[in-house]
Amino acid sequence: MIILKRSLRFVLALSVAASSQPLLAQSSVSADAHAIRAARTAQNVAMAAGDVDRAATWWTEDVTIRRGLGTGIGGVEGYKGILQRAPVSDTALVYQRITRDVTVSNAWPLAFETGTWTARVGGKGSALITGRYSAQWVKRGARWLIRSEVFVALTCSGQGCASKAVP
């Protein structure tokens, strides 16, 4: 009887320990996904304020981007350059990304984000351009940074939409 009780306690302890491992991993993944969502929100705020240097703090030095109509940009300075061309004004386009999903790898310090994006004139009113995006995030130390983004323009309204050509 004593051996049976000890065996039962051992099996029970083993079951609890085994079942807690996925919960610990899920908790870490959830915390990482939350950190990525918070970083994206903070980057949106920086971009809306025209603070390109602050927005760039979430990019790796070798970040790559594929813009809404397909143009490729490489490196943090190149990415900053396309944002710095349009000063903050009532007529400048302000881009906002809205995260739909974040999947964090259990094997590597990588994550995949998807969502929708909009460009609004002056950051207000109805969207001029909208689309979908995806991003690869990499964890460097305790921070999540964007290594690559792909934007696809899907809708457009207004004067700049007349062209059907995609560069």
Distance of CA 125 to the CA centre of its chain: 24
Q: What is the mean pLDDT of residues 87-102?
A: 80
pLDDT tens per residue, range 22-35? 433 444 568 999 99
Closest Cα to residue 95, out of 48, 150, 148? 48
What the chain holds in terms of domains, given with CATH numbers, is: 26-158 (3.10.450.50)
Closest CA to 80 of 46, 54, 56: 56
pLDDT at 45: 94
Among 7-11, 45-49, 81-85, the range with the most confident prediction by mean pLDDT is 45-49
**Torsion angle, alpha carbons of 7, 10, 11, 15, to 10:** 170
CA neighbor of 130 nearest in space, from 113, 117, 121: 117
3-state secondary structure of 167: coil
> pLDDT over 90 for what percent of the chain?
56
